Amino acid sequence: MKKTKTKKKITKSKSGITKEMSFSEIIEKHPEAAGILFESGMHCCGCPMSADESLEQGAKAHGIKVDELLKKLNKNK
């Protein structure tokens, strides 16, 4: 029996910013997003502890609706 490799499906939005992305990945790929994150109360995006935290995890911790935040982040993309 031949084994086949399955590819991991990655969800992408038009801008490439998704709720699964870490803060460090967002800032690295979209530095302009930092201002929107700060304005939204996500001051943790510069914290070393949040480097591997996903946008969704951070939003939940701060009581922010991740889908609304994604709309703001992706608005100008």
In the structure encoding, which two tokens stand for residue 50, read together?
Answer: 């949040």
> How many domains are there within the chain?
1
| Inside any domain, residue 6 | no
* pLDDT for position 72: 93
Per-residue pLDDT of the chain (77 residues; tens, 9 = 90+): 555 554 433 344 455 899 999 998 998 899 999 999 999 888 776 677 777 899 999 999 889 999 999 999 998 66
| Cβ 21 vs Cβ 53: under 8 Å | no
| Cβ 58 vs Cβ 23: under 8 Å | yes
User: What is d(CA 21, CA 55) in angstroms, rounded to the nearest whole number?
Assistant: 6
* pLDDT for position 12: 44
| Inside any domain, residue 11 | no
In the structure encoding, which two tokens stand for residue 12, read together?
Answer: 């992408």
CA dist list (Å): 36 to 10, 27, 60:
24, 11, 17
| Inside any domain, residue 12 | no
| Inside any domain, residue 9 | no
CATH code, domain carrying 45? 1.10.3910.10
| Inside any domain, residue 58 | yes
* pLDDT for position 47: 77
